[in-house]
Structure 1
């Protein structure tokens, strides 16, 4: 059985806002996230997506091109 966290719990774990977690979920950037009615559930072991605005993300993106 997979354990899930709420958007708020995931935001606290990743040190970002719950709104940013919701944006990642809506954009399909969190693998395994599921939406139940009005609630996103994120697997406990999900990886935090790279923020596309950071230098680290830009370098990773340029390697893939």
Structure 2
């Protein structure tokens, strides 16, 4: 299996998770998404990545 097949863009992941592309890029830049790599101006992320907890929610605040 080709390694490229297991990767997706920030836009694809944003659509999958129901968040904005900006939110995904911020999570990548902050190191919250494991395996994310930046190539030029774009982020590539493994397709099987789980969505990290959003620190703005009650669920995330309770997990601290």
Q: Which runs of 4+ in 1 moved over 3 A?
A: none
1:8 and 2:6 aligned = no
Instruction: Tell me the SS of whatever aligns to 1:57.
Output: helix
Deviation at 1:38, TM superposition (A): 1.2
Equivalent residue number for residue 21 of structure 2: 18
| Structure 2 residue runs without a partner (length 5+) | none
Number of equivalent positions: 61
Q: TM-score, normalised by structure 1?
A: 0.88
Q: TM-score, normalised by structure 2?
A: 0.90
